[in-house]
């Protein structure tokens, strides 16, 4: 039995996709801890894992709720600082540079044999590897480096075989780089410079740090291999997959401890539409209008029915003229609803998209920010659904899109084919095999 510590970026959308892998490691007899902010302790423990505190003084219990409130109520530079987690990333970089720090002490105390660390938390990966502990980078996002005819994941560009496509992708990477630099200036923190400082402090070469469309990342290499929790079939084609990058299973956790959904008001004879903008629906400035547009659409189409998960910052009473064929909830278990749904309306978060594919469910994707445009583009590229604009969609245009996806059998055929590959990889568990191959036969940890 080994002691494995998992540490994910401090958002629900990063934490939840790791649970399936964590449970599989526990089932193999390993002791699994989660190193996470205090706000996630209760959720981590409810899933059956042990817990280690991450930066408890800097981010005490209640921080996440306050951050969500700030995201919902601020704009401009303040908004950017919150959604980019500038304070967290800065604190993480500063902490790992301290010779004796709370993270190192926790890892030594539990005798960590291996750490699975979110790809967005590269500063922690570098410190842990320097300690002599095996590290595997765990990416729920497709945050890969630039490649020919491979657009950055923050754009909705769809590559093709035309001569202009590689140039279009290359130009998108240039604009993405400019956007990263502008963001750094606006938030007053250079993420790549800070990560490079951490790398050189621990004796790693500066060129180990490379830019990416989201946070800076480690160059693909074998010392800290990277598991991408997404089958390669969903990605755009890459000229080659670099050594050290391993596309694996989608890691869909069907055993999360969630309240049972009440199906009493759902008519099994009508097509069911499920709509959610994820756990952070409040960060999209158009989300309130968008939710109302979806409601208005269903009011004109009583032959359909809708379950809408609003998120923590919206209440059902805030929306008007809600028809009887619409149920408004703050949260709903997608694992219970998706198997019965006909189509999902989503913001394009990678977790939601993977769950749709796992359950053979076509999508209408209205991307918000970050990497969501890239996943929406992949949905369209593979014929798995349609893409729209959250700020521009009308009830009439949404109804047209829903009719197309529900009635056109090609969408169902393509998601069924992709879903079969997702489920096959889930059963094969390549990520579990890779992780266990990295466990040392004998542990030697530097203090």
Rounded average pLDDT per 10-residue block, the chain, 447 residues: 95 89 94 97 94 96 90 87 93 96 96 96 96 95 89 94 95 92 93 96 94 84 91 92 91 77 86 88 84 96 94 85 92 86 94 94 93 95 96 95 96 97 94 91 43
Would you say the C-alpha torsion 252, 256, 258, 261 has a positive or negative sign? positive
93 three-state secondary structure: helix
pLDDT of residue 31: 96
pLDDT of residue 447: 37
pLDDT of residue 443: 41
Q: Which two tokens stand for residue 59?
A: 């981010």
pLDDT of residue 445: 38
The model's pTM: 0.90
Q: How far is the C-alpha of 149 from the C-alpha of 135, rounded, in Å? A: 31
pLDDT of residue 367: 94
Strands 217-218 and 209-210, bridge-based pairing = antiparallel
Contact 299, 305 (CB under 8 A): no
Would you say the C-alpha torsion 231, 435, 209, 215 has a positive or negative sign? positive
Contact 17, 428 (CB under 8 A): no
Q: How far is the C-alpha of 67 from the C-alpha of 302, rounded, in Å? A: 39
Contacts for 425 with CB less than 8 Å, ≥ 6 apart: 231, 248, 249, 250
Question: Which DSSP state fits 34?
Answer: E
In the chain, the N- to C-terminal Cα span, in Å, equals: 22
Residue identified by tokens 């008001």 is 265
pLDDT of residue 257: 64
pLDDT of residue 316: 87
Residue identified by tokens 């693909």 is 220
Contact 271, 302 (CB under 8 A): no
Q: How far is the C-alpha of 294 from the C-alpha of 321, rounded, in Å? A: 12
Biggest CA-to-CA distance, the chain: 66
CA-wise closest residue to 59 among 97, 107, 103, 13? 103
């Amino acid at each position: 039995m080994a002691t494995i510590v998992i540490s994910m970026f401090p958002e629900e959308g990063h934490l939840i996709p790791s649970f399936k892998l964590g449970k599989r490691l526990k089932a193999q007899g390993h002791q699994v801890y989660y190193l996470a902010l205090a706000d996630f302790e209760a959720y981590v423990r409810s899933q059956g894992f042990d817990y280690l505190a991450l930066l408890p003084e800097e981010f005490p219990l209640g921080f996440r709720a306050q951050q969500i409130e700030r995201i919902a109520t601020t704009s401009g530079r303040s908004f950017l600082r919150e959604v980019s987690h500038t304070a967290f990333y800065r604190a993480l970089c500063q902490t790992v540079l301290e010779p004796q720090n709370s993270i190192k002490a926790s890892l030594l105390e539990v005798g960590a044999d291996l750490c699975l660390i979110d790809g967005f938390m590269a500063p922690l990966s570098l410190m842990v590897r320097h300690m002599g502990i095996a590290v595997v980078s765990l990416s729920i996002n497709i945050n890969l480096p630039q490649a020919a005819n491979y657009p950055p994941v923050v754009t909705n560009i769809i590559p093709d075989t035309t001569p202009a496509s590689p140039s279009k992708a290359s130009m998108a990477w240039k604009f993405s780089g400019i956007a990263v630099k502008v963001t750094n200036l606006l938030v007053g923190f250079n993420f790549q410079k800070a990560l490079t400082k951490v790398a050189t402090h621990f004796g790693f070469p500066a060129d180990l740090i490379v830019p990416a469309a989201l946070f800076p990342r480690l160059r693909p290499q074998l010392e800290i291999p990277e598991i991408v929790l997404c089958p390669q079939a969903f990605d755009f084609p890459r000229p080659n997959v670099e050594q050290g990058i391993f596309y694996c299973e989608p890691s869909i956790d069907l055993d999360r401890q969630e309240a049972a959904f009440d199906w009493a008001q759902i008519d099994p004879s009508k097509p069911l539409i499920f709509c959610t903008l994820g756990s952070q629906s409040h960060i999209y400035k158009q989300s309130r209008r968008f939710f109302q547009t979806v409601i208005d659409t269903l009011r004109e189409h009583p032959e359909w029915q809708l379950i809408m998960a609003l998120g923590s910052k919206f209440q059902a009473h805030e929306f008007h003229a809600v028809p009887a064929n619409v149920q408004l909830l703050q949260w709903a278990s997608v694992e219970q609803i998706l198997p019965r749904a006909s189509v999902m309306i989503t913001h394009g978060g990678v977790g939601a998209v993977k769950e749709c594919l796992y359950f053979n469910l076509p999508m209408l994707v209205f991307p918000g920010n970050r990497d969501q445009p890239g996943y929406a583009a992949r949905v369209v590229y593979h014929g798995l659904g349609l893409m729209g604009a959250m700020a521009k969609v009308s009830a009439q245009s949404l109804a047209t899109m829903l009719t197309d996806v529900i009635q056109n059998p090609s969408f169902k055929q393509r998601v069924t084919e992709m879903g079969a590959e997702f489920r096959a990889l889930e059963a094969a568990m390549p990520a579990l095999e890779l992780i266990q191959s990295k466990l040392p036969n004998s542990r030697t940890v530097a203090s």
